[in-house]
């Protein structure tokens, strides 16, 4: 499972200590250290707090995807960009491709 590696990687990338991160969550430092060592698994509530803290998806933390953000976040971002810039063939193809591969099928504006 990638969870222990992802937790440590994110903590180090954000220049945090285990103690500092544990205070933000809030949990005991030893408990958090066990998450990074793979000796314990965070409960669902703690997993969500970690994901929100780092602005990543729980799927990313669990190793189900290598994309730190959710597909819906990417689609929303692409739609926002498409609304801010003039229509183009490439934009239309991108939105069409996203619509095809996403079950909620957002509408092109």
Higher pLDDT, 1 or 25: 25
Which pairs count as long-range contacts for 52-60, CB under 8 Å and 24+ apart, including other chains?
53/21, 53/24, 53/25, 54/10, 54/14, 56/10, 60/6
pLDDT in tens, 60-76: 999 998 878 766 777 77
Cα-Cα end-to-end distance for the chain: 40
Instruction: Say whether pLDDT at 100 is over 90.
Output: no
pTM, two decimals, is 0.66
């Amino acid at each position: 499972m990638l969870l222990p590696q992802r937790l440590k990687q994110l903590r180090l990338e954000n220049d945090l200590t285990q103690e500092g991160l544990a205070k933000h969550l809030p949990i005991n430092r030893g408990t958090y250290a066990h998450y990074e060592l793979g000796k314990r698994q965070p409960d669902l509530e703690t997993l969500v707090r970690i994901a929100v803290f780092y602005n990543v998806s729980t799927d990313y933390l669990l190793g189900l995807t290598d994309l730190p953000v959710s597909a819906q976040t990417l689609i929303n971002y692409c739609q926002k960009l498409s609304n801010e810039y003039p229509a183009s063939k490439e934009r239309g193809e991108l939105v069409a491709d996203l619509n095809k591969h996403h079950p909620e099928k957002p509408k092109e504006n």
